[in-house]
Structure 1
């Protein structure tokens, strides 16, 4: 099974679709090249994802746990 970071990247349209990745206290924040490429339904179905919203030009995900660790793993996968 792939990690949560890998699953999120795949459902966000792949690593090449992520223009920017940040996080705040409670959410992962992804800015995408092509918003339509993201599978929001698939992201909502991940057990670790509590909320998926589009706000301020970003795809934002609230996770049940390990927000910073997931962000860091995603960042490493994007380099």
Structure 2
């Protein structure tokens, strides 16, 4: 699927309309002389990296949490 290339003049003339399209999830390719030069896409905020152990000591697991029922083990072993 080829993307339509919007030339610089059209982009300057219709910037508000292009931004509306981007807000709806579309990506717009900007070009010069029919050649793609840039991509206009929605801004996504960066999430902070996850820090392991943040919930340590704050939650508890049930004592039988990791116990797998025998019937389930048998079903896996039987290929069901």
TM-score (norm 2): 0.26
Larger Rg: 2
Question: Greater relative contact order (Cα 8 A, min sep 6): structure 1 or 2?
Answer: 1
More strand by share: 1
Richer in helix (by share): 1
